[in-house]
Amino acid sequence: MTGADTGIATDPLAATRFEEPWHAQVFALTVALSEAGRFTWPEWTEAFGATLARHGKDRALDGGEDYFHAWLETLEALLARLGLAEPAVVEALRDAWEAAYLATPHGQPVHLKD
C-alpha cells in the first residue's frame, strides 16, 4: 500500500500530483460548480460516496484511475439529476470533441466546430 506513491521515498513532503490531465479537469470542474453554488460539497460527497460503495462491491478500488472514473460517473449523474447537463447533449458534445480531434492536423490546437 505504501510504495504505490511516487516520490515519497525521496521526499516525505512531496505534493501528490494528478496522474492524468482529465483527473485534474474533472476535479476542478466539480469544485468550481460547488463554489458557484450549483450543489453543496456535502451533497457531492454523499453522491460520490454512494458511487464508490457501489463500484467497490465487486472489487476493491485502488484509489487511482478507478477513483476518477467513479468521480466522473457521479458528476454526470448529479448534473443530470439537477437538470444542469442533459445526458444526450453531453453525449453529442463528447462526439463533437472526438470528431474535432480526428479532424485537426497533429500539432494544431483543437477547436470545437460551432
Partner 1 sequence: MPHDSHDHDHGAHALLPPDPALRVRALETLLARKGFVDPAAMDAILDFYENRIGPRIGATVVARAWTDPDFRAALREDSTAALAAEGLLGRQGEHMVVVENTPEVHNVVVCTLCSCYPWPLLGIPPSWYKSDAYRARVVREPRKVLSEFGLTLPEAQSVRVWDSTAEIRYLVLPMRPEGTEGLGAEALADWVTRNAMIGTGLPERPQ
Non-local CB neighbours of 101 within 8 Å, separated by 6+ positions:
110
Give the separation between CA 113 and CA 6, rounded to whole angstroms.
39
54 binds partner 1 (CB under 8 A): no
Asked if 102 is part of the footprint of partner 1 (rule: CB under 8 A), the reply reads yes
88 counts as binding partner 1 under rule CB under 8 A? no
Task: Compute the least distance from the CB of residue 4 to partner 1, in Å.
Answer: 6
Tell the smallest beta-carbon distance from residue 81 to partner 1 (Å): 14
Q: Does 78 bind partner 1 (CB under 8 A)?
A: no
| Cell digits of residue 95 | 462526439
Residue 81 near partner 1 by CB under 8 A: no
> Grid coordinates standing for 16?
501528490
Burial (CB < 10 A; 0-12, 13-18, 19+), residue 30, is buried
The answer to whether residue 33 forms part of the interface with partner 1 (CB under 8 A) is yes
Among 54, 77, 81, 89, binds partner 1 (CB under 8 A): 89
**Among residue numbers 8 through 27, which ones bind partner 1 (CB under 8 A)?**
8, 12-18, 20-22, 24-27
- Looking up cell 439529476 gives 81
